[in-house]
Chains A and B, each alone.
Chain A
């Protein structure tokens, strides 16, 4: 029974990972692509980890998978933040149909 539930959660995780990758290809600029990459890929990967934990139970492999989840939650948004900030400071433009860019306006004042 645990095997089946774990498999289902892993499949859901893989589906979200796939959607994240499609987003990485389809969306127009760096910042939108980062949105898809961080959100979908984080939950997808955590789903895979959690599925492994359900399948293995409380042995060494399962606990290691469980410990990985908070680390992914801490590092993925930090990496996305660093990439977005670096791209903006380097001068990567937003998509031409973007609504507003308050960060650019404030950078000129400084």
Chain B
């Protein structure tokens, strides 16, 4: 089951990259995708049955524009701080707590935090994330959690947990 999911992903990627549909390309692509699925099938997905639930993809489509908007906001935020003559930064590392369980969800949360305004995830230990914040507004854990994590956590829980 795990290997089938990885095979489909690898083969689709091959089709996108070659964008040719004659039998030579297809057979080589099949072979390579099969090899990849055989070698790395165990480490790609933990719970393959989740890959076939349409609901998760719909939530992902809802998450994507929010993520992109935060990302663009982050860019203007950093550009403002970099180009301002006095550099208005108050950096520091704060600790926040997440309720997400699966590894994949935590990875996506950490990536989303890195791409959003002024925050960069430094380390994960169990359910605590250490975040470097370029403009610390609150050193308290609960307050920081509300400001940083809660925007994405609700949606990511629906996608991955």
Contacts and interface: CB of A to CB of B under 8 A. Distances in A.
Interface of A: 16, 19-20, 22-23, 26-29, 31-32, 34-36, 38-40, 42-43, 59-60, 63-64, 67, 73-74, 77-78, 80-81, 84-85, 88, 94-95, 97-104, 106
16 contacts: A19-B82, A28-B89, A31-B122, A32-B89, A43-B74, A60-B18, A60-B19, A77-B114, A81-B123, A94-B92, A97-B91, A100-B92, A101-B92, A101-B93, A104-B93, A106-B130
- Provide the main secondary structure of the chain A interface: helix
B120 A73 contact: no
Given A84-B121, A103-B123, 16 more contacts: A26-B82, A27-B89, A34-B132, A35-B118, A35-B120, A38-B114, A39-B74, A39-B78, A43-B75, A63-B19, A81-B122, A81-B123, A85-B122, A95-B91, A100-B93, A104-B93
Contacts of A94: 91-93
A23 B78 contact: yes
Interface string B106-120: 000011001100101
Contacts of B71: 39, 42-43
Interface of B: 13, 16-20, 71-72, 74-75, 78-79, 81-83, 87, 89-95, 110-111, 114-115, 118, 120-123, 125, 130, 132, 134, 136, 139
Contacts of B122: 31, 81, 84-85, 88, 103
A106 B17 contact: no
A1 B17 CA distance: 26
B111 A99 contact: no
B115 A100 contact: no
